[in-house]
């Protein structure tokens, strides 16, 4: 019996890695049970090279690579070591959260005797993970091959494909979503993946943060109230600039609930003038920087008396645009327009 982080685990795992080539072939046959047609993506060709291509490249991604950030290259067999100190990290964070656009797949070796035995009984000595794109393409293949037995596309949930359809039918089998320290996994991708740990827990791994200039040890580098991961992947704002669109309102004021989405009633932190009425959402310099003009004059994210709403171009509903009302005020000699 051997346990996680025990020295004997390492010995067993190293023995398993020596058999990677054989296991890869087994998994390919196991997870791609249906014949492959010419219309399908050439990723299958990469996963199963002609006569197990003698030039097939193998790369080891070390724990230090994951700690400092690593660029996983396509068309390569990768052996990935998860650093021991990582408690847990999601698949999407580990692989850069671009999995909706990239095809990749792999499997992780068992770490205990009990896991190995359970997987052995299930038919394959490893837990499989598939990117969203890979699962989507496998669904399409399954539908085309089994069209007569499928009544609705919506029936093909991950649960149905993983657990209710016999593997001999070529079912999709996504099993590994959370990765833990000490795991050793096989990975292959159709495109480059940004791999890394996520020390600050903001959802952006260290490779992604290095690319964007944010601090991988701070979950909110620019101090605008929104986590770096939400800025990078959800809002599209800058994790190192508090006011990404330059409208005078910091991003965390515009995204008032800091959930990484532009909800109803919130100005867009990526648009200088959300409602397109000619007035910036906050307070901006115009006319060569000599005049201040905008809708949220005190930059507090609240519609106060004397202010217009940056999310609608006609705040009072009188069919006169807010910008025109501003000019009318100026022409009338107003001193707080």
pLDDT tens readout for residues 206-244: 999 999 999 999 999 999 999 999 999 999 999 999 999
Region 89-103 average pLDDT? 86
- Name 186's bridge partners: 79, 107
The DSSP call for residue 255 is: S
Give the pLDDT band (50/70/90) at residue 129.
very high
Question: Residue 42's pLDDT is what?
Answer: 38
- Coil, strand or helix: which one is 175? coil
Q: Which of 38, 99, 96 is nearest to 71 (CA)?
A: 96
Please list, residue by residue across 153-162, b when 16 or more beta carbons sit within 10 angstroms of its beta carbon and e when fewer do. eeebeeeebb
Q: What is the pTM of this model?
A: 0.76
Give the pLDDT band (50/70/90) at residue 30.
very low
Instruction: Quote the tokens at residue 61.
Output: 């991604």
Whether residue 81 has pLDDT greater than 80: yes
Whether residue 32 has pLDDT greater than 50: no
- Coil, strand or helix: which one is 120? helix
Contact 229, 204 (CB under 8 A): yes
């Amino acid at each position: 019996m051997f346990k996680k982080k025990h020295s004997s685990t390492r010995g067993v795992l190293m023995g398993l890695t020596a058999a990677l080539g054989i296991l890869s072939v087994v998994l390919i046959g196991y997870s791609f049970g249906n014949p492959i047609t010419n219309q399908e993506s050439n990723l299958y060709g990469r996963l199963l090279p002609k006569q197990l291509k003698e030039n097939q490249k193998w790369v080891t991604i070390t724990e230090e690579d994951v700690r400092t950030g690593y660029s996983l290259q396509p068309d390569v067999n990768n052996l990935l070591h998860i650093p021991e100190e990582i408690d847990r990290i999601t698949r999407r964070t580990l692989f850069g959260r671009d999995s909706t656009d990239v095809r990749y797949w792999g499997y992780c070796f068992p770490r205990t005797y009990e896991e190995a035995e359970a997987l052995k009984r299930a038919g394959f000595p490893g837990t499989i993970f598939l990117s969203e794109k890979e699962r989507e393409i496998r669904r399409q293949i399954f539908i085309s091959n089994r069209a007569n037995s499928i009544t609705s596309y919506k029936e093909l949930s991950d649960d149905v494909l993983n657990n209710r359809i016999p593997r001999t039918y070529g079912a999709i089998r996504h099993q590994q979503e959370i990765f833990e320290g000490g795991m050793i996994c096989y990975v292959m991708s159709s495109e480059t993946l940004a791999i890394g740990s996520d020390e600050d827990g903001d959802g952006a791994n260290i490779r992604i943060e290095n690319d964007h200039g944010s601090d991988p040890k701070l979950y909110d580098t620019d101090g605008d109230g929104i986590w770096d991961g939400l800025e990078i992947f959800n809002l599209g704002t800058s994790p190192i600039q508090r006011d990404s669109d330059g409208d005078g309102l910091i991003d965390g004021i515009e995204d008032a609930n800091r959930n990484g989405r532009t909800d109803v009633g919130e100005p867009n932190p990526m648009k200088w003038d959300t409602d397109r009425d000619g007035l910036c959402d906050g307070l901006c310099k115009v006319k060569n920087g000599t005049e201040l003009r905008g809708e949220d004059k005190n930059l507090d994210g609240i519609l106060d008396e004397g202010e217009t709403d940056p999310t609608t171009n006609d705040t009072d509903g009188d069919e006169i645009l807010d910008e025109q009302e501003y000019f009318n005020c100026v022409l009338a000699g107003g001193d707080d327009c």
